[in-house]
Structure 1
Amino acid sequence: MRITDYSLLALSSLKYSRLRTYLTALGIAVGIAAVVLLTALGGGAQHYMMGQFSQFGANIISVAPGKTTTAGISGAILSNVRPLTIEDAESLHRLPNIITSVPAIQGNLPIERGNRTRWTSVLGINHEVPDTWAMEVGQGRFLPNEPAEQARNFVVIGDTIRRELFPYTKPLGEFLRIGGERYRVIGVMKKKGQVLGLDMDDIVYIPVYRALSLYNRDSLMEIDLRYTEGYDEEQIINNIKQRLIERHGSEDFTITSQDDIIGTLGSILGILTAVVAGLGSISLFVGGVGIFTIMSIAVNERIKEIGLLRALGASRRQVTLLFLFEAAVLSGLGGIFGMLSGFGIAWLLHYVIPALPVNIQWDYVIMAEIIAIVTGMIAGLVPATRAAKMEPVDALRSE
């Protein structure tokens, strides 16, 4: 028998029992649709989180005060930890392959202009933020490159601050009061939106030395370093560690690379995606049970047909292959319908809820379809073997 013969016989048999065929294929379709939908949502979440991290730029290493221990206690709470200073940031800037160095400190302060007041995040940084965090100035300019202690009271504001405090006038050259001090607006950042839950448009930027004074602190929250792309990140981290140990006398700081964060996050989200795919695959098992049931019923109903095939010269192998092919076609068609349904539901959810990220994971989709076909063939193996073992005469005599 040729493959076309197997196909025609399998399709005609499935067409003869339409209701059972539809219900059995539905079990497989539900499983495939569940796998497609769940992995699409999981992959969308993973893609979204990676995109959020990449918005802060690339090739970034962060240094925070305090050594994180295995017990989960930060060394920052110990009295022998030296502050992370502006001088540390400047010293790290002089290391090989370090392009930018941004000392940073953040807090909330009242921002006043005339009779308008609002609390917002005030970030103390230096002039290298746009090159480090992949941000752009929309109007005016960013903070100038000035010695930290001589930095003037300049401020760069986010787009939300511009709209709320300067609704009818241009902000450049105007003054704001931040924490009781007077600052001149010299720039407005381009609209950036939410990044990891933080509204980047609702922030104002002032020189780091001024921020330390406003917050009455002597330690930075972190230092962000951007290094030359293509160089050995591990070697650069070792250079940073050695330099800070020389300055502090001990390793009282924590170094975190952007690649480490993205890699760890990607691994966690990848595991979650695999777990939800496994949960969806349970439906495939249910569909396999349905195929086993319908194939067993088909064998009982088609005993005379099996006897006639055997009497006409069909071998046991051919009869087995015929029933296995029916099971494969049944599960394959159910899988295709499930894939189309999963795609449709995923994109419909994304259309109705645009903020919901969707990213089709094709490796899981293809794997689920293969598993569906294999599951169907395994489920049909026992009935197919039983059909092949029937003697032609006994099969033809059956009622």
Structure 2
Amino acid sequence: MFLRDLINLTASSFLAYRLRSFLTGLGIAIGIAAVILLTSIGEGLHQFVLAEFSQFGTNIISIQPGKTQVQGSNVGVISSVRQLSLEDADSLRGLPYVENVNPSVMGNAEVRANGKTRRITVFGEGRNFAQAFTMKVQSGSFWPDEDNEQARALVVLGAKVRQELFAGQNPLGQYLRVGGQRYRVIGVMEPKGQVLGLDLDDTVFIPAARAMELLNRPGLIEVQVSYRADVNVNTVIRLITERLKERHGREDFTIISQEEALEVLGSVLDVITFAVGALGGISLLVGSVGILTIMTMAVTERTAEIGLLRALGAKKKQVLTLFLGEAILLSALGGLAGLALGAGIAQGLHLIFPALPVHTPWLYAALAELTAVSIGLAAGVVPAMRAARLDPVEALHAE
């Protein structure tokens, strides 16, 4: 039996049992489609979250008050022996490789201007805030170098605050009340949108020293340090640790690098993507049962045909190859249909719900197709071996 004969026999089997072949392939297609759809959503969320975290740059180190052994959770507000101060932040500015240092405080307060009042998020930041986080001022400027003890009452508006309180006006030079205190507007930030649920446009930025007084904070929530991109992060962390230990007398602070946080977050999201893909893969097991059932029925129905092939000189190996080929081809075609179906549904959902991040990971697509072929091979082994072992004489007498 030549390869051409095997192909002709396989094709004739599909044509003779169209509905059965379609339903068998459909089981695999649904399983693959489920895998692709779930992993597309999972990978889309993965990329979205990483993009949200990394849009401000990856060469940033965060210093939080309080020593914790579990990175990623800030318990400094509760267990800190000594708060981080503006002087601590200033002491880091002269360290090698450090480009920008930003002391940070955050809270909520009412803002009022032109007879309008809004309750918004107030960020108390240092003069290097915009440079550290690669944010741009649309008009005006951020505050110049300020004396920590005598920080001037200056404010920079988020884009939405500017629109709501100063619609149709130039806010620069005008005055705004933040928490009852009078501030002069010196800048407006470019629109930034939401970052992990926080609307950066619906905020105002004031000097950190002023924010600590306004929000009644004994110390800074965090100090962010940006460093040269060509420098190893561990070197900068060591320098920061040494400087703050000199000032505090002990290591009562926690240092978290953006690079390390992104690596941990990426690992977690990879596991989640794999998990949702595995859940979708359960339906592939159902498809494999369908292939096993259909191929077993095919051997029973085609017993006489198998006997004739053997009588004409077909070897056991060739009969085995014939039935395995049918099972693999069914799975492969079903898998390709599933890939198209899953990717199509994923993109359709993205068109209907643009906020839903979707990205089809083609590595998972290739693995899903390979899995489909493997399932066809595994499910077709037993029926194929049964067909190959049939006695030619008895098979010819079968009806």
| Same fold, judged at TM 0.5 (above) | yes
Distance (whole Å) between structure 1 residues aligned to residue 324 and residue 74 of structure 2? 61
Matched, 1:288 2:316: no
Task: Give matches, 1:103-122, under 5 Å.
Answer: 103-122=103-122
**Aligned-residue identity in percent:** 50
Residue type of the partner of 2:313?
G
- The Cα shift of 1:69 comes to 4.3
Deviations 1:168-216 (A, max 9, x none): 2111111101122211111100001000111010111111111122123
Q: Give the Cα separation in 2 of the matches to 1:127 and 1:116.
A: 28
Partner of 1:318: 318
1:230 Cα deviation (Å)?
Answer: 2.1
| Partner SS, residue 284 of structure 1 | helix
- Which segment is superposed worse, 158-167 or 61-70? 61-70
Q: Distance in 2 between matches of 1:186 and 1:109?
A: 19
**Cross-structure match for 1:384:** 384
CA distance in 1, matches of 2:168, 2:15: 72
Are the aligned partners of 1:60 and 1:225 in contact in 2 as well (CA < 8 Å)?
yes
Shift of 1:6: 2.2
**Aligned residue type for 1:263:** E
Counterpart-to-counterpart distance in 2, 1:345 and 1:320: 37
2:177 counterpart residue number = 177
Matched with 1:221 is: 221
Q: Is the 8 A contact 1:67 1:76 kept in 2?
A: no
Aligned residue identity for 2:194: Q
Change (3 A) 1:287 1:238: same
1:241-281 Cα deviation digits (max 9, x unpaired): 11111100111111111112211111111111111111111
SS in 2 for 1:357: coil
- Please give the alpha-carbon distance, in whole angstroms, between the structure 2 residues aligned to 1:202 and 1:93: 30
Whether the 8 Å contact between 1:64 and 1:221 is mirrored in structure 2 is yes
Question: CA shift at 1:45, angstroms?
Answer: 0.5
SS in 2 for 1:82: coil
Change in Cα spacing, 1:70 to 1:224, as seen in structure 2 (3 Å) is closer
Would you say the 8 A contact 1:89–1:101 is kept in 2?
Answer: yes
Give the distance between the partners of 1:43 and 1:101, measured in 2 at CA: 34
Q: Residues 259-338 of structure 1: matches in 2 within 5 Å?
A: 259-338=259-338
* CA distance in 2: counterparts of 1:397 and 1:77, whole angstroms: 86
Aligned-partner SS, 1:256: strand
After superposition, the C-alpha distances for 1:297-331 in whole angstroms (9 at most, x for unaligned) are: 11111111111111111111011000000001100
Unaligned runs of 5+ in 1: none
Q: Distance in 1 between matches of 2:155 and 2:36?
A: 49
1:2 Cα shift?
4.1
| Equivalent residue pairs, number | 398
Distance 2:147 2:77 in 1: 27
5+ residue gaps, structure 2, are none
Q: Secondary structure at the match of 2:223?
A: strand
How far apart, in 1, do the equivalents of 2:61 and 2:67 lie? 16
Cα distance change, pair 3–47 in 1 and its aligned pair in 2 (3 A): farther
Q: Could you tell me which residue of structure 2 aligns to residue 166 of structure 1?
A: 166
Q: Residue in 2 aligned with 1:39?
A: 39
Could you tell me how far apart the structure 1 residues matched to 2:111 and 2:76 are? 33
Aligned pairs (5 A) from 1:67-86: 67-69=67-69, 74-78=75-79, 81-86=81-86
Aligned to 2:252: 252
Q: How well do the aligned residues superpose, as a CA RMSD in angstroms?
A: 1.6
Moved more, 97-106 or 8-17: 8-17
Q: Which amino acid aligns with 2:331?
A: S
Does the 8 A contact of 2:31 with 2:281 survive in 1? yes
Deviation of 1:389 after TM superposition, in Å, equals: 1.1
TM-score w.r.t. length of structure 1:
0.96
**Structure 2 length as normaliser, TM-score?**
0.96
